[in-house]
């Protein structure tokens, strides 16, 4: 199996793989996408170099580039010389500042939206504090639709068109029905999220899709890690719920029914804290955000107030830790002590090349990573932890929404002419 993500799209990574061209027009669309993905993954290059690397005739490449320029998806950049012999040519590079994909995350404590252009640059970003668990799903979808509508309108005012929206939600997702089947931490069962957002945005809405938040976070992290030729990755969300996105052999691991990665409900302490799922001692009751806040502060402490922006609350806890506050430091020690054995168990099961700690795990990474790394090396059966490295996410709390925006943008790479 080809494990190199270059030449594939994000949806190929997340779904089933590229479609096979069946006629001349679809062959051209396939070739347009191949050229665009090459420029995305490998950077600017001349037409001659593109022809060499794709195996397409030079005349075909020139025609494809011309169409991509007209679509506003690529532009000519600096002069590039292909070797010592021959005329220099203008390098072609991805442009695509006129199109965006939007990712929306529904979390326990907030709603967030991020818009990325074709180059992966942030065109818009916003997060609002929402106590999703206390609100009715319909009210949450009202707020999410408002965020998306305002973002689309703001982009359009700058001449930027939205090509798709991906919703990131916690819990078990039924992708065929585009329904959140069960999300214990926000109390949702059988919520038709995509249809609800579509109805609120109206018939002019761009395509809307639904995906699990941890899986989208894994996609975003993998597109960073794959640049270092890493194709086996485990991404752990650090939220109220703890989920995993698993990349195996360069593909997102879904499981037979799409539920792979619900690691937060691994039973780590049968006599422990009652979990929102109804069982006791689930891993997220020991290391999730709710556990950290319970260990670090009283319920009436402002850091536990869901109406306050999450990062502001965590920054305050970080300040307390830096100031040597005993309760905060003890709480972080407890999170690290609970995180290490669970990560080691997953490394034994999956043998990833990389474990990426996201969310609040990354926010407090300096207080956690040494303990987690030591636990993994002590507990994993294989020598040297099977070659696994533990790292902190650089995407913070944006990983899921970024993954959503990237997945939405993949429609452009699948069919550039379709925009």
CATH number at residue 69: 1.10.10.10
Residues 248 and 395 occupy one common structural domain: yes
Burial of 34: CB neighbours in 10 Å, binned 0-12, 13-18, 19+:
buried
385 plus 290 within the same structural domain: yes
The total number of structural domains that make up the chain: 3
β strands within 312-385, DSSP E: 354-357
My answer on whether 114 and 89 are in the same domain is no
Residue 331 · residue 366 · CB < 8 Å = no
The answer on 406 and 367 residing in a single domain is no
- 228-258 pLDDT, tens digit per residue, is 899 999 999 988 889 999 999 999 998 888 8
* Residues 166, 54 share a domain: no
CATH number for the domain harbouring residue 239: 3.30.420.40
Mean pLDDT score across all residues of the chain: 90
The 10 Å Cβ neighbour count of residue 350 is 18
Question: What's the CA dihedral at 57, 59, 63, 66 to 10 degrees?
Answer: 110
Q: Average pLDDT, stretch 18-38?
A: 79
Residue 1 clears pLDDT 50, i.e. is over it: no
Residue 147: C-alpha distances to residues 124, 166, 204, 213 (Å): 11, 13, 16, 18
5 within a domain of the structure (yes/no): no
SS3 413: helix
Same domain, 159 and 292: no
- Beta strands 354-357 and 389-392, pairing class: parallel
Which residues form the domain of 189?
A: 99-216+400-418
Residue 3 lies in a domain: no
- Alpha-carbon Rg for the chain, nearest whole angstrom, is 23
- By C-alpha distance, which of 300, 359, 298, 306 is closest to 331? 298
Quote the pLDDT of residue 87. Answer: 58
Tokens of 124: 């818009």
The residue from 94, 122, 151 where one domain ends is 94
**Mean per-residue pLDDT, 75-80:** 73
Q: Name the domain boundary from 26, 59, 94.
A: 94
- Assign 13 a pLDDT band (cuts: 50, 70, 90): low
Measure CA of the first residue to CA of the last residue in the chain; give whole Å.
31
Mean pLDDT of the 65-83 span: 81
pLDDT tens-place string over residues 212-230: 999 999 999 998 898 889 9
Residues whose CB is less than 8 angstroms from the CB of residue 402 and which lie 6 or more positions away in sequence, other chains included:
103, 114, 116, 216, 217, 220, 395
Residue range 280-323, pLDDT digits in tens: 999 999 999 999 999 999 999 999 999 999 999 999 999 999 99
Whether residue 265 sits in one domain with residue 187: no
Percent of the chain with pLDDT over 70: 92
- What pLDDT is recorded for position 287? 97
Share of the chain above pLDDT 90, in %: 78
């Amino acid at each position: 199996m080809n494990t190199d993500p270059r030449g594939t799209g994000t949806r190929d990574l997340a779904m089933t793989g590229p479609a096979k061209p069946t006629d001349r027009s679809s062959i051209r669309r396939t070739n347009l996408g191949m050229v665009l993905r090459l420029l995305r993954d490998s950077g600017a290059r001349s037409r001659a170099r593109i022809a060499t690397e794709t195996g397409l005739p030079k005349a075909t490449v020139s025609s494809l580039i011309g169409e991509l320029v007209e679509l506003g998806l690529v532009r000519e950049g600096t002069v590039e010389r292909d070797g010592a012999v021959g005329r220099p040519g203008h390098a072609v590079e991805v442009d695509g500042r006129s199109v965006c994909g939007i990712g929306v995350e529904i979390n326990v404590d907030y709603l967030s939206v991020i818009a990325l252009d074709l180059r992966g640059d942030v065109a818009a970003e916003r997060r609002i504090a929402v106590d999703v668990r206390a609100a009715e799903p319909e009210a949450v979808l009202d707020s999410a639709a408002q965020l998306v509508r305002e973002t689309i309108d703001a982009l359009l005012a700058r001449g930027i068109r939205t090509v798709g929206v991906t919703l990131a939600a916690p819990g078990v997702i039924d992708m065929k029905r585009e329904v959140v089947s069960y999300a214990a931490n926000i109390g949702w069962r059988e919520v038709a999220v995509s249809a609800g957002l579509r109805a609120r945005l109206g018939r002019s809405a761009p395509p809307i899709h639904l995906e699990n938040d941890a899986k989208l976070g894994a996609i975003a992290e993998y597109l960073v890690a794959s640049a270092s030729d890493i194709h086996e990755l485990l991404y752990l969300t650090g939220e109220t719920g703890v989920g995993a996105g698993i990349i195996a052999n360069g593909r997102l691991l879904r499981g037979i029914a799409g539920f792979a990665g619900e690691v937060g409900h691994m039973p780590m302490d049968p006599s422990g804290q009652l979990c929102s799922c109804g069982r006791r001692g689930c891993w997220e009751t020991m290391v999730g955000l709710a556990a950290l806040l319970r260990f670090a502060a009283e319920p009436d402490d402002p850091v536990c107030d869901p109406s306050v922006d999450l990062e502001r609350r965590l920054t305050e806890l970080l300040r307390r830790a830096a100031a040597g506050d005993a309760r905060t430091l003890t709480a972080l020690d407890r999170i690290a002590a609970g995180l290490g054995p669970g990560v080691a168990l997953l490394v034994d099961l999956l043998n990833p090349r990389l474990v990426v700690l996201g969310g609040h795990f990354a926010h407090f990474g300096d207080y956690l990573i040494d303990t987690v790394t030591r636990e993994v090396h002590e507990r994993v059966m294989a020598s040297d932890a099977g070659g696994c490295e533990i790292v902190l996410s650089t995407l913070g709390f944006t990983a899921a929404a970024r993954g959503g925006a990237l997945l939405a943008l993949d429609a452009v790479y699948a069919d550039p002419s379709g925009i």
